[in-house]
Structure 1
Amino acid sequence: MGREKSNDPKNVKRKEKTKMQLQRRIGCFDGVSFIIGSIVGAGIFVSPTGVLKHSLLNVGVALTIWTASGLVSLMGSLCYAELGTALPFSGGEYSHIKRGLGSLPAFVFIWTSTFTKPASNAARALLFAEYATQPFYGICPAPEVLKKCLALAVLWSLGILNGCSVKMAAWVQMVFTLLKMMALSVIAVGGIVLLVGGRKENLARFEDMFGSEMPNASQIAEAFFQGLYAYGGWWSLNYMAEEMKNPSRNIPLTVMTAVPAVIVFYLLVNISYLTVLTPKEIVSSVAVAVTWADRVIPSVAWIIPLSVAVSIFGALNSSMFTLGRLSYAGSQSGHLPVLISMLNVHTCTPAPALIFSTTIASIFIIPSDLIMLTNYFGFSAWLMIGLTCASLIVLRYREPNLHRPYKVFLPVPFVMVAMSFFLVLAPIVWSPNMQYFYAFLFMLGSLIVYLPFVHFKLHFAFFDKITCYLQLLLEVSPADGSDESKCE
């Protein structure tokens, strides 16, 4: 009778539910919200001027580059979709590089990301604080201390939210993504209405779009680089692949829904800006969407600054969610302290990983000048994208029998690898700077940590006592399938 009870399907199902592991709680719509939320930040509202400026104010070239940048981002996301469905684990690029190219390149990635990604979150939090406080001070600048305190409060609020509940974090992401898309829709629809209205001054800039001065090859490349930067974040879904419901179906479907939607919105919004403002006005404007609103909907122009704050908040929530999964995956592989791979016993969320990444971001906020250093690590993001797509190619030949529910057309990852290494070398060749050399040295500095602590497995006993104490304090436990806790 005891055996029959233990094999009862209800009991088996109950046991599966109580497993200490990340739960598959993220559906297709949630995934779309996270991708769109990661891509669409303040840039499209505030300063979509980089592409137009480097296109020498040539409207046709600028719109072509916005389209081409979106298509490259879509190709990259399709490569990631194959890796995400074949290897549905947390950690995004880190997990794929580790599987395809080995432990050392993966460690270099997480070493660099531990520095750059929290700094990016700190920058977002400070920008949110800027837009949230400025309306109360009019033309006077808001106090720096106030902005830093608000930025810290936002960081830790989102850190706690993501550590307490995946469902709540996904709900917040969905709400803020819908709000920012509503704001973009106002701009897009407003532009279409004015364009269809047929006033000569609105149509003039589109009658001979390629008629003005044409940029040279290096200027086009720089404009292209700016466009790709605006689409940054398309890779975010792979960080949460382990938590996606039915990843074989939902990862490709989510990618093919979210990225084309962003491409369409970016094009419509840029067309709307060009309908209302001249290219010179766009390039010289501090906040293009605010200038647009003052012209088109002056009575409710306050909606746009509010929308910028909403957009930044949503992008920050998405980034913190994915960064927690990166730290969690790195710890599971032994590349970060073991505590970071543990899950909260009540919520099955990677709470220590979120505390770790939020703490580093907070350190960047206090002396915010440090954030400027991360501008020189831009090349590293594309280096890792290139390595990830190279991992896809390697796995195609090394593991041909690996189950791949979705397969991208093989030339696509080759194009992405070539594109990535061009984007790595371009800023260094065009504008050489010692800071790039320092950034490269920082990446190589990972070897100083990797060799003793990962390769030779150097271990200090007192770390076990600290881990045990923090494990009890935070009420966390190793995920099922990982090494047993030192406290047990």
Structure 2
Amino acid sequence: MSGGGIAKSSENVGLKREMGLFSAINMILAVMIGSGIFVSPASALEHSGSVGMCIIIWIVCGLISLLGALTFAELGTVVPRSGAEYAYFMDSFSTLHKFWGNLPAFIASWVYVVVLRPAEVAVITLTFAEYLCKPILDALGACDMDTEAIKKYVAILALGLITYINMTSVKLYVKIQNIFSSFKVIACLIVIFGGIYELLIKGNTEHLGKGFEGTKLAPKNIALAFYSGLWAYDGWNSIVTVTEEIKNPEKNIPRSIMISVPIVTFLYVFMNISYMTVMNIDEMVNAQAVAVVFGERVLGIFSFVIPLGVALSTFGCALSIQFSVTRLCYVASQDGHMLENLSYIHVRRATPAPSVVMQGIISLAFIVAGNIMELIEFASFLIWIFYGVAMVSLLVLRKTKKDTPRPYRVPTWIAIFIIFVSIFLSVVPIVTDPSPKYLFAIGFILIGVLVYYWFIYKKNRPKIMDKVTYYVQVLFEVVPPANAHSS
């Protein structure tokens, strides 16, 4: 868009480095700690079969997550762009082949931007609405009300607020995220101290005393237990999706990972110990919301703290997931892998407003659609495929960018180990549950290949896009970023 005040401002427009170490730590905590540890952490217990084995699973999963996160810390210092896996695939593979080189990066952005992350935001905001509304509706005796419709409206309002925050200001996002992350850690600590009280003060050792009794050592059970645990820890790479907004990233990215992932591991392990102090295996497996049952038994009149904690946790999680995926969208658009105007930045607020609005619209569609858990399940196994390919990227970049300064470097065996973990976690769900949903995943990727071939490789651009770009610039007051990469 030539001429006019908006276009002239583009020389100084771009993402700003607003996030320090504390905010980076809180972002990782916000994405890693969602609703799962409060609502349904019992899957690892069900598959491991015993209290002792379950605790080991949670500890080992935390260590694996830390190792994976540290490899991304190195990648984040070698490739100083936002976008995480997308940016790494572009830097390591794009020069290898004219067609196939850019395809892995496009497929990663296609899956994350179009389906997985907005669907996660939709599910998490629905969970937020569930836990915010339940105590209120119960108090009002809302038997005759359409509670599902009320929850859906609340979820839509929450999504609108999340989208508004991420459009308005990165500083506003950072402040709100820091507050909500603190609240969710407090909620986790309430559960832990409740368990300590039951264990040490009241001497409730009946369930923990069973140790490894009933352990299931079949490879399938162990595999599914690890799969459940590692899925709960997912989000450890979230900070490298926003590399361009981190102050002093070469130091703060590794530091934030080394601090936040052990914190989450500590919280997860001791929350599970607390749950297992109060409930037996059958009670945990069959509970609709484990933390709520725990609160009713331990906290008495203060049990309302748990649903409130879940609501705060889920809101903060959805806020940070949307924030991070809009940066992936922003970077992919700069490379010509998404609509060009999705990389445009608001002239005053320094936020990628079109990307934020698009993510809000897609998440809204998923909320309206209703039950989309299977949609997330079919795409979730792809995450570990991307993690595995990212490890290959790391090994490639060690050859192609061997002279690039590396303030932080992981041992090569860690990258190779994570490759084997990713293969394992990609194959487990297909072998244990050979469902048609995985065919749907392959179909969605094939559609992505066709989109890539026609619009990106062949560069077919609909003429209407000129008008769309014009109206987007005028409506959102956005311009191309000053540091835009050429596609």
Determine the C-alpha separation between the residues in 1 that align with 2:18 and 2:270. Answer: 33
Cα distance, 1:18 vs. partner?
7.6
Cα distance, 1:143 vs. partner?
2.5
Instruction: Confirm or deny that 1:129 pairs with 2:129.
Output: yes
Alignment of 1:303-382 (within 5 A): 303-382=305-384
Tell whether the 8 Å contact from 2:10 to 2:481 is kept in structure 1 after alignment.
no
Give the share of equivalent positions with the same residue, in percent: 36
Give the secondary structure class of the aligned counterpart of 1:204: coil
Q: Residue 62 of structure 1 aligns with which residue?
A: 54
Determine the C-alpha separation between the residues in 1 that align with 2:200 and 2:135. Answer: 34
Give the secondary structure class of the aligned counterpart of 2:402: coil
Q: Residue 4 of structure 2 aligns with which residue?
A: none
Determine the C-alpha separation between the residues in 2 that align with 1:315 and 1:333. Answer: 28
Q: Residue 28 of structure 2 aligns with which residue?
A: 35
Distance 1:67 1:213, change over 3 A: closer
Q: Residue 151 of structure 1 aligns with which residue?
A: 155
Alignment of 1:4-43 (within 5 A): 19-43=12-36
Q: Residue 206 of structure 1 aligns with which residue?
A: 208
In structure 2, runs of 5+ residues without a counterpart are 1-8, 95-101
- Aligned residue type for 1:203: T
Superimposed CA distance per residue, residues 7-58 of structure 1 (whole angstroms, 9 cap, x where no aligned partner)? xxxxxxxxx99821111110000011110010111111112110101112x1
Q: Residue 91 of structure 2 aligns with which residue?
A: 99
Determine the C-alpha separation between the residues in 2 that align with 1:375 and 1:466. Answer: 34
Cα distance, 1:406 vs. partner?
0.7
- Aligned residue type for 2:183: L
> What TM-score do the two structures reach when normalised by structure 2?
0.92
Superimposed CA distance per residue, residues 256-287 of structure 1 (whole angstroms, 9 cap, x where no aligned partner)? 00000000111111111112222222122211
Give the secondary structure class of the aligned counterpart of 2:371: helix
Distance 1:483 1:413, change over 3 A: closer
Determine the C-alpha separation between the residues in 1 that align with 2:34 and 2:256. Answer: 19
Determine the C-alpha separation between the residues in 1 that align with 2:185 and 2:236. Answer: 16
Give the secondary structure class of the aligned counterpart of 2:205: helix
Give the secondary structure class of the aligned counterpart of 1:228: helix
Instruction: Identify which of 69, 80, 84 aligns with 2:72.
Output: 80
Cα distance, 1:105 vs. partner?
0.3
Give the secondary structure class of the aligned counterpart of 1:68: helix
Alignment of 1:417-428 (within 5 A): 417-428=419-430
Tell whether the 8 Å contact from 2:86 to 2:105 is kept in structure 1 after alignment.
yes
Give the secondary structure class of the aligned counterpart of 1:369: coil
Instruction: Confirm or deny that 1:175 pairs with 2:159.
Output: no
Give the secondary structure class of the aligned counterpart of 1:88: coil
Instruction: Identify which of 130, 155, 162 aligns with 2:166.
Output: 162
Tell whether the 8 Å contact from 2:83 to 2:241 is kept in structure 1 after alignment.
yes
Cα distance, 1:373 vs. partner?
2.4
- Aligned residue type for 1:76: G
- Aligned residue type for 1:156: G
Determine the C-alpha separation between the residues in 1 that align with 2:18 and 2:188. Answer: 28
> What TM-score do the two structures reach when normalised by structure 1?
0.92
Instruction: Confirm or deny that 1:190 pairs with 2:194.
Output: yes
- Aligned residue type for 1:301: S
Cα distance, 1:462 vs. partner?
2.5
Cα distance, 1:136 vs. partner?
2.8
Worse overlay, 30-39 or 392-401: 392-401
Give the secondary structure class of the aligned counterpart of 1:203: coil
Give the CA RMSD over aligned residues. Answer: 1.8
Distance 1:204 1:369, change over 3 A: closer
Cα distance, 1:370 vs. partner?
4.3
Worse overlay, 338-347 or 102-111: 102-111
Superimposed CA distance per residue, residues 175-194 of structure 1 (whole angstroms, 9 cap, x where no aligned partner)? 01101111111111222233
- Aligned residue type for 1:49: A
Cα distance, 1:154 vs. partner?
1.0
Instruction: Identify which of 233, 237, 240 aligns with 1:238.
Output: 240
Instruction: Identify which of 477, 480, 483 aligns with 1:481.
Output: 483
Tell whether the 8 Å contact from 2:14 to 2:345 is kept in structure 1 after alignment.
yes
Distance 1:176 1:77, change over 3 A: same
In structure 1, runs of 5+ residues without a counterpart are 1-15
Determine the C-alpha separation between the residues in 2 that align with 1:387 and 1:226. Answer: 21
Distance 1:195 1:449, change over 3 A: same
Instruction: Identify which of 287, 290, 295 aligns with 1:288.
Output: 290
Greater than 6 Å deviation, 4+ residue runs: none
Q: Residue 278 of structure 2 aligns with which residue?
A: 276
Cα distance, 1:243 vs. partner?
0.5
Determine the C-alpha separation between the residues in 1 that align with 2:485 and 2:244. Answer: 19
